[in-house]
Homo-oligomer: A and B are copies of this chain.
Amino acid sequence: MTAAHQQAVEHEIQCLLGSGATLPGALPLRDHHDLWGAFSRAADGGKRFRPGLLLSTHQALGGVREPAAVQVAAALELLHTAFVVQDDVIDGDQVRRGVPSLPGGIAADARRQGAGASEAQRLGEAAGILAGDLGLIAAMRAITRCEAPAPVVERLLDLFESTLHATAAGELADVRLQLGPADGPVVLREALAVAELKTALYSFQLPLRAGALLADASPEVLAALDEIGSLLGIGFQLFDDLLGVFGDERRTGKSALGDLREGKRTALIAHASTTDAWPALQPLLGREDLGEREARSARSLLTAGGSRAWVEDLARWHVTSAAEAAVRHDLPPELVASLDLATAEILRAADLTLPATAPADAPRAQHRAQEGLPA
């Protein structure tokens, strides 16, 4: 994202947050102040990846609706923040990127004021749900107000609504996936479907398509961007699954024990369940008391069994295929260049935060199920 875009988006986000603070009017609302204040802090300091993707797409397609593009870009950041704070409620996460999550922060405040642990947690969860509601509505309201012609706004709202439906389904599918068995090719397929629904649609397809709609792109370009967004998003989520186990905690700000302790059914674990490493790995997963020593064993098994390399290959395949699709669909050179940048950014982030990969001769032949998935 250019510095000018970055500055414009930050300004717009602050305007939206500022006007939200005054919304309930003169009512005596300490609770509103706390709630919206916590949401505003949660919206602070992100990388603004989604706004950047929207703005660069709009620009690369020769779009001339810069003010509207900035307004919708800011709305996407509020939407992202709303998903994040409700996701923290759903997953019970008290910490995010090394600082308290919104539910965790509100709960900690209540504890300091003398509330019991379970009551404080309940207050934090209520705040996360409600702050998310307000964020969603603020995002949608910002789109209704953006300075684009009414038919474009209408298409943006349709896009926003259908994306929300699919993302909610993906979130629910993710929780449901955790209830069933951890092994089997069905889990692997479902984990990839969840990656698409939960991440690719709102983090990639939505910004790409919104930027293109604002630039009056052709149906062909929109369809190509949907394909590209799906590839980028699945690749991104697969890297994220790897980071949850192998990531450098100092760089990711995310515990590399959490996913193992939770026994989370990611594509990585689903793949491992089809390898010879599974009998030794399975007893280590889902143990709340899992220590660093056992985590190292789990990581070794995931590496030796070839699952790490398989997922990493799959992630790279998705991300690089996105760049190839941009060329194949004969998209304008500026858009191809912009998508190349996004691709490079994802790969660089993964390289920076994933310690050196397994040796190339890792026994990848042991994995037994690819089942038509690209490798």
Contacts and interface: CB of A to CB of B under 8 A. Distances in A.
Given A165-B32, A165-B36, A171-B130, A90 B125 contact: yes
Question: For the side of the interface on A, what is the size category?
Answer: 35 or more
B164 A133 contact: yes
A165 B119 CA distance: 23
Nearest to A131: B168
A29 B169 contact: yes
Given A24-B169, A90-B125, A133 B133 contact: yes
A34 interface: yes
A337 to B, nearest CB: 30
A323 interface: no
A166 B22 CA distance: 11
A126 B171 contact: yes
A170 to B, nearest CB: 7
A328 to B, nearest CB: 22
Interface of A is mostly: helix
B126 A24 contact: no
Interface string A115-136: 1000110110111011111101
Contacts of A168: 32, 35, 130-131, 133-134
A157 interface: yes
A35 B24 CA distance: 31
A193 interface: yes
A25 interface: yes
Interface stretch (A173-181, A247-255, A268-276): A173-181
Interface stretch (A137-145, A211-219, A302-310): A137-145
Nearest to A116: B179
Among A136, A137, A162, A173, residue most surrounded by chain B Cβ atoms (within 10 Å): A137
A134 B168 CA distance: 8
A89 B86 CA distance: 12
Among A25, A144, A172, residue most surrounded by chain B Cβ atoms (within 10 Å): A172
Contact of A31 (B123, B125, B137, B170): B170
Contacts of A136: 133, 136-137
Interface in A6-59: 20, 23-25, 27-32, 34-36
Among A132, A140, A169, A197, residue most surrounded by chain B Cβ atoms (within 10 Å): A169
Given A23-B165, A129-B129, A137-B140, A119 B178 contact: yes
Given A31-B172, A133-B136, A161 B141 contact: yes
B86 A166 contact: no
A246 B366 CA distance: 68
A126 B175 CA distance: 8
Given A34-B172, A141-B157, A150-B150, 13 more contacts: A23-B161, A23-B162, A27-B197, A28-B193, A31-B170, A35-B168, A35-B169, A86-B133, A110-B176, A123-B175, A123-B176, A137-B161, A138-B161
12 contacts: A25-B166, A28-B193, A29-B197, A31-B169, A34-B172, A35-B168, A92-B122, A110-B176, A110-B179, A119-B178, A137-B140, A137-B164
